[in-house]
A and B are shown apart, each in its own frame.
Chain A
Amino acid sequence: MLEAFLSKNLVTQGFGKTDRKDAWWWEQVFTVVALTVFGLYGVYRAFENGFYEVGPYLSPFYSPNLKALFPQAFDWFQLSPAFLILWAPLGFRGTCYFYRRTYYRAIFNDPPACAVDKPKQGLLRPLADYTGETLFPFILQNFHRYFLYVALVLVAFHWVHAFQSIFWDGQIGFGVGSLIVWLDTILLTLYVFSCHSLRHLIGGKLNTFTGGIFSRIAYFKWFNQTKLNQEHWLYAWVSLFTVGLCDLYIRLVANGTITDWNTWGLDWSGVGCLH
């Protein structure tokens, strides 16, 4: 009996079929909407190639400021510098264990939610046979840690920009923009530092924390990072919103839609040009 049962093919009663009586679809709807809005905005901004720098503020989509660092290179590279940057955060988020959970559910419907049936095939479930993360392209998820290494570098740049955002003309000060840049930098840092791969690398890979000083240090790192890691999902979502918000704010100041309030008493509104 068991053999016959176990070897049967996919049993599905149809997309969304379930005995659940709660609002299981809520998370799916939220995810699809949030990712779509952010995705469309991100693509638009990457192509826009402008309004990303105003006063002491630099948009996270264009950080580090490659055009300022290597001006000659952009003589022959005509595309937006964002393309040289955005693959890294996209790769990090795309291979992130939390985002994987989220988009496998919301977009691949594999599964749509716990104990909810999935569509057999088609647009709602693009992959024919389920192979998990064992084949291309999903086998690439295993390289998450390399995206982590790049993300750590980007975080360092973010901090540089965060500090730059409170200096203007050699004068220390701050504006609403600085607050937003700092908020974004802090949440991005929390998101990157709460990474599951990092948790493995700084101590999780050890089988024992018993022993001398090095074991104690490893335990201290692992134990404290674990607390961060438990909130990884929260940082993942919030940092996504703050990145978008930060870019949007800078864009709106740069193109003159709104005015940045700041202690320097300067109005940069509209001076961030389309490069």
Chain B
Amino acid sequence: MMMSLGVVDREFHVFRGLPDADGEHIGEVKSFTVPVQPGWVVLDALLYLQAHNAPDLAIRWNCKAAKCGSCAAEINGLPSLMCKTRLDHMPLDKPVLVRPMRTFPLIKDLVTDVSWNYEINKRITPFTPYNDDQSTWRYFQEDADRVQEFRKCIECFLCQNSCHVIRHHRKFNHFAGPRFLVRLASLEMHPLDVADRIPFIKEEAGIGLCNITKCCTERCPEDIRITDNAIIPLKERVVDRYYDPITMLLHKIGIK
């Protein structure tokens, strides 16, 4: 796509507000006009607003290069990274709507409280290698490839925000969300790891609540094939342990 040339005035509708006592998003969408330069992303426009129109506009961002995952928000209704959403890829005549992630309690303006995610991570059994003698550890790039895809995750929590199990059904207490199913997959498929997280995946991470509708995969800015490569393989592993009579029998007599 060609870049539009020169500076263009564009309209932005930006949510501004504070939470009520329960963390609900209370506020309104305010309209701003920003002189947009070629190549700008949404975050550029918001930082311009901060510097010129609204110095106290709360935005969470760090690297502005799609590597840290801080600036997740909802742009024109789609969960996206503000630093990766190009303005010249959006219709020129329509205003750009920016709202905070709806799934999480509001802190202020575009910033939400994502601490729930950090709590989930603490409950996951960490990497547990099969022995302590590191000099014997060997595995091929093929094994690394599979796990590295999951470890690309920048923890922007857009998948958590997009997942209807959390977003609409609010299964915060019964479901770990795509991000942590990805993390669990990275541990379960680690060639050296021997910890058994399958019961956790079924009971506490609640993988059965996922109905593989793939919004996590659609919205992942790192293009991790969350559903196909992490969640479905984990579901199949849960089937091996809990549903398939043949593999259950084999597991019981010690064949894996």
Contact = CB atoms under 8 A, between A and B. Distances in A.
Interface of A: 1-2, 4-12, 18-22, 97, 100-101, 104-105, 110-111, 114-115, 117-118, 130-134, 138-139, 142-146, 196-197, 199-201, 204-205, 207-210, 219, 223, 229-230
B223 to A, nearest CB: 12
17 contacts: A2-B115, A6-B170, A19-B99, A21-B77, A97-B232, A100-B212, A111-B215, A114-B79, A118-B168, A132-B209, A145-B244, A196-B232, A197-B236, A201-B236, A210-B191, A223-B142, A229-B228
Contact of A11 (B74, B79, B168, B206): B168
A209 B138 CA distance: 11
Nearest to B242: A142
B170 A7 contact: yes
A223 B211 CA distance: 25
B124 interface: no
B interface, how many residues as a size bin? 35 or more
A132 B105 contact: no
Contact of B94 (A21, A208, A223): A21
Give 7 closest A-B pairs by Cβ, nearest first: A19-B77, A20-B77, A132-B209, A208-B191, A5-B23, A200-B236, A114-B215
Contact of A97 (B139, B162, B188, B212): B212
Nearest to B140: A210
Given A20-B78, A219-B142, A1 B213 contact: no
Contacts of B232: 97, 196, 200
Contacts of B215: 111, 114-115
Contacts of B99: 19
A7 B140 CA distance: 45
A209 B78 contact: no
B236 A196 contact: yes
B169 interface: yes
Contacts of B104: 5
Contacts of A105: 213
Given A10-B170, A200-B237, A209-B140, 6 more contacts: A21-B91, A100-B211, A110-B211, A110-B213, A139-B208, A200-B232
B200 interface: no
A110 B77 CA distance: 18
Interface in B7-62: 19, 21-24
Contact of A114 (B162, B190, B225): B162
B199 interface: no
A11 B97 CA distance: 21
A93 to B, nearest CB: 15
A114 B218 CA distance: 8
Nearest to A109: B164
B103 to A, nearest CB: 9
Contacts of A144: 239
B225 to A, nearest CB: 8
Contact of B116 (A6, A131, A142, A230): A6
A130 B140 contact: no
A56 B76 CA distance: 56
A10 B168 contact: yes
B162 to A, nearest CB: 5
B240 interface: yes
B23 A4 contact: yes
A10 B169 contact: yes
Contacts of A7: 170, 172-173
Contacts of A114: 78-79, 162, 215, 218-219
Contacts of A139: 208, 243
A210 B239 contact: no
B74 A204 contact: no
A103 to B, nearest CB: 10
Residue from A5, A8, A134 whose CB has the most chain B CB atoms within 10 Å? A5
A207 B243 CA distance: 20
A207 B218 contact: no
Contacts of A142: 235, 238-239, 242-244
Contacts of A118: 164, 168
Contact of A196 (B91, B206, B219, B228): B228
A249 to B, nearest CB: 33
Contact of B105 (A5, A134, A207): A5
Interface in B137-196: 138-140, 142-143, 162, 164-165, 167-173, 188-193
